């Protein structure tokens, strides 16, 4: 009888462990990009909000980098979607080598990524990370016998310098990225500082920094 009860308890424990594993797997799939394994927009948004709350309490800065790949469409058109997937997966891996364990690199759709840098004392550090990302992304990517090449245009917005909330921060970083695209690509630029009335300028960015 004791052996049967013991076996039953072990079976229940195993079943509960499997349910917990499946629950964790479902949660991971819901919050992470399937192709790259990076956090998806939902999780990234949560981490931005948490970083801003922490920065507001401690007087630190948070930088948001909006990363858009240059030349990705050409890779897809010439080599096919499998090559495009190879590029995205490799870019994701390289992004992770450019940031700290406390930072977040996320894929938010297509060939667009964001990087969240919390606990900064100096906004210039975000520019240094952007330069590292541009250099890493621009290195050739092997695909069969082909060598694939993409670049990165990066817009940077810093809390509280450029925006006072997560939505405005993302908008400012996105706008700065598009200005980099217009000015020649494969570079980074900061959004403009918030005006005294607390409103960020609708257009324009600080000078682009090229690598």
Contacts of 166 (CB under 8 A, 6+ apart): 45, 48, 49, 52
Which of 33, 68, 103, 111 is an active site residue?
Answer: 111
User: Who contacts 27 (Cβ-Cβ below 8 Å, separation ≥6)?
Assistant: none
Catalytic, 111? Answer: yes
Return the closest-CA partner of residue 154 out of 139, 183, 125, 174. Answer: 174
Q: How far is the C-alpha of 134 from the C-alpha of 107, rounded, in Å?
A: 16
- Coil/strand/helix, residue 94: helix
Q: How many C-beta atoms lie closer than 10 Å to residue 92's C-beta?
A: 18
Residue with tokens 């759709």: 109
**Residues designated as active site:** 111
């Amino acid at each position: 009888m004791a052996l049967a009860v013991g076996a039953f308890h072990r079976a229940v424990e195993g079943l509960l462990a499997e349910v917990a594993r499946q629950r964790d797997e479902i949660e991971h799939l819901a919050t992470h990009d399937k192709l790259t394994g990076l956090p998806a927009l939902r999780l990234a948004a949560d981490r931005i909000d948490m970083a801003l709350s922490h920065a507001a309490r401690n007087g630190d800065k948070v930088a948001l980098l909006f990363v858009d790949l240059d030349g990705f469409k050409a890779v897809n058109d010439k080599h096919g979607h499998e090559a495009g997937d190879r590029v995205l997966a490799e870019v994701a891996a390289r992004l992770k080598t450019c940031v700290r364990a406390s930072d977040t690199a996320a894929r938010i759709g297509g060939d667009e990524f964001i990087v969240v840098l919390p606990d900064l004392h100096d906004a210039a550090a975000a520019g240094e990370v952007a330069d590292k990302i541009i250099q890493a992304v621009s290195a050739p990517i092997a695909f069969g016998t082909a060598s694939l090449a993409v670049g990165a245009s990066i817009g940077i917005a810093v809390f509280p310098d450029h925006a006072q909330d997560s939505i405005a921060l993302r908008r400012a970083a996105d706008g700065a990225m598009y200005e980099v695209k217009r000015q020649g690509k494969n570079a980074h630029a900061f959004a403009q500082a918030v005006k005294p009335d607390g409103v960020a300028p609708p257009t324009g960015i600080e000078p682009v920094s090229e690598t």
